């Protein structure tokens, strides 16, 4: 199946710092999604991207659909303690039968810890 490489695996930062994480694929994607998951809860959709080069913001979060269509980036500005959690990228490859039926490919996640 499709492999998504998400990095970094974990981040330990101080409150107020900016955060960047990214996701790369071996093939071209037509959908990139970013989710945040708190312990014991379901993933919450943060940002959805559908077009190469697209840059979308949601409060302090900004995500981009890479122009090569093989990557996506998520930035968090001025981090706060409630940003703690696991961030997952997810996406759908072009010309993937499973994706047309609903399959979503996930990265392994970035565990974010914010120190006050």
Partner 1 sequence: DTEVTQTPKHLVMGMTNKKSLKCEQHMGHRAMYWYKQKAKKPPELMFVYSYEKLSINESVPSRFSPECPNSSLLNLHLHALQPEDSALYLCASSELAGRRNEQFFGPGTRLTVL
- Phi, psi (deg, nearest 5) at residue 9: -70, -35
C-alpha span between 103 and 116 (Å, rounded): 38
Task: Give the one residue of 2, 7, 48, 56 binding partner 1; rule: CB under 8 A.
Answer: 48
Please, what sign has the CA dihedral across residues 77, 59, 41, 7? Answer: negative
Q: Which is nearer to partner 1, 48 or 52 (CB)?
A: 48
The yes or no reply on residue 107 touching partner 1 (CB under 8 A) is yes
C-alpha span between 108 and 110 (Å, rounded): 7
The yes or no reply on residue 43 touching partner 1 (CB under 8 A) is yes
Residue in this structure with the two tokens 């981090």, named with its chain if needed: 79
Tell me the window of 19-27, 45-53, 64-72, 74-82 that interacts with partner 1 (CB under 8 A): 45-53
Residues binding partner 1 (CB under 8 A) = 30-31, 33, 35, 40-45, 48, 50, 86, 88, 90, 92, 98-104, 106-109, 111
């Amino acid at each position: 199946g499709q492999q998504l490489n998400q990095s970094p695996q974990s981040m330990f930062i101080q409150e107020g710092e900016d955060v960047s994480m990214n996701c790369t694929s071996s093939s071209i994607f037509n959908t990139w999604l970013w989710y945040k998951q708190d312990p014991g809860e379901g993933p919450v959709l943060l940002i959805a991207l559908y077009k190469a080069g697209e840059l979308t913001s949601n409060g302090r979060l900004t995500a981009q659909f890479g122009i090569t269509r093989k990557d996506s980036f998520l930035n968090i500005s001025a981090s706060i303690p409630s940003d703690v959690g696991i961030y997952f990228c997810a996406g759908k490859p072009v010309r993937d039968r499973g994706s047309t039926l609903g399959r979503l490919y996930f990265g392994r996640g970035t565990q974010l810890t914010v120190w006050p």
